Structure 1
Amino acid sequence: MQRVTITLDDELLEAIDERVRSHNYQGRSEAMRDLLRTGLLDSRQQQPGTSRHCMATLSWVFDHGTRDLAQRLSHLFHVHHALIHTTLEVPLDHDHSLSVAVLKGESQRVHALTERVISERGVRHGRAFMVPIDPDIEEHLHGDQIEPHTHWRVRDS
């Protein structure tokens, strides 16, 4: 590991110190590494020509009263069915629900789908969390069968 010196204004340093306290980090360095890693991963996921894979969760709150929203989202998910592993919907009140989708696939395609869902009329809040992964094809014993299959390894960058 290397030591790096940076200059920050007082407000930004206060925000970092608050994050250290609120997230129970051991210190500023650990918090900064997480923030930098997240920022770098987010920017890499969105770069043109990036064909890496990711796992992602997409969460959004939506208004049931929005005309044709359920049909639009259903159509969108059927068009992109290869990216979607599961979805979950939790009613919040008479008009709103929280939905969560677990996605896996090529990073740009996953990102494009998350942006489409979040930007739909009637979606009030939305956020995607993407984790980079790499395929690792192995052949080893599972029970009494040996066969090649894919394990997905989490990448740090």
Structure 2
Amino acid sequence: MQRITITIDDDLAAELDAHMTASGASGRSEAIRDLVRRGLATVRTEPGDERCYGVVSCAVDQSVRQLAARIPQGRLDRHDQTIAALSVPLDHTTSIDVAVMRGRMSDVTAYAEALFLERGVMHGSLGLIPVAEGTTKHVHEHGHSHEHTHYKVQSSL
């Protein structure tokens, strides 16, 4: 780990301390690391082949023709990437939809951007969680072994 010294004015330090308290960070360094990670994630311009989990959320006007059928179909078309989906009714025509996806960052981002362009989809948001993919071999009681994939969350993209 590297030590970096920064100088900030009193007002910004007070805001940092308030963020630290609200977020539960144990100190200014932890709070600053968290803010830097988040900031760097937002400046990334081109999603690549890195693996990630993505949390896609949006408000959906269910009264828009066929939208209530197209959104689930879009997830079915990506059944190998879709981990979970939730739709919560807000009023008689609007719901909040949340989908947890996994795969290449470019694929997850493309899905989210296409969804957000649909007429009747509002307030779209995509949160990306970078992961490293690794294969592990497990041995069971009777000597049978098999490999499967594990994902380990990374601190930055």
Which category of TM-score, normalised to the shorter sequence, fits these structures?
0.7 to 0.9
Indicate the residue corresponding to 2:53 in structure 1: 55
Q: Which amino acid aligns with 2:154?
A: R
Q: Is 1:18 the equivalent of 2:14?
A: no
Superposition pairs for residues 118-133 of structure 1, below 5 Å? 118-133=116-131
- The count of corresponding residues between Structure 1 and Structure 2 is 155
Amino acid at match of 1:121: R
Could you tell me which residue of structure 2 aligns to residue 156 of structure 1?
Answer: 155
CA deviation vs aligned residue, 1:35-65 (integer Å, no higher than 9, x gap): 1112323444x525x2111112212221212
Kindly, what percent of the aligned residue pairs are identical?
38
Deviations 1:43-99 (A, max 9, x none): 44x525x21111122122212122332233244334433321221111122121111
Q: CA deviation at 1:136?
A: 1.0
Report the RMSD for the aligned CA atoms in angstroms: 2.4
Helix, strand or coil at the partner of 1:82: coil
Amino acid at match of 2:69: Q
Structure 1 residue 153: deviation in Å?
A: 1.7
Deviations 1:5-48 (A, max 9, x none): 3355666545433322221222322111011112323444x525
1:131-142 correspondence to structure 2 within 5 Å:
131-142=129-140
Distance in 1 between residues matched to 2:137 and 2:43, nearest whole Å: 34
Which 5+ residue runs of structure 2 have no aligned equivalent? none
Letter of the structure 1 residue corresponding to residue 51 of structure 2:
H
Amino acid at match of 1:84: T
Query: Aligned letter for 2:147?
Result: P
TM-score when normalising by structure 2: 0.81
The 8 Å contact of residues 59 and 99 in structure 1, kept in 2 or not, is answered as: yes
**Which residue identity is paired with 1:85?**
I
Task: Give 5+ residue unaligned stretches, structure 1.
Answer: none
Aligned residue runs from structure 1 range 1-157, under 5 A: 1-8=1-8, 12-44=12-44, 46-47=45-46, 50-144=48-142, 145-157=144-156
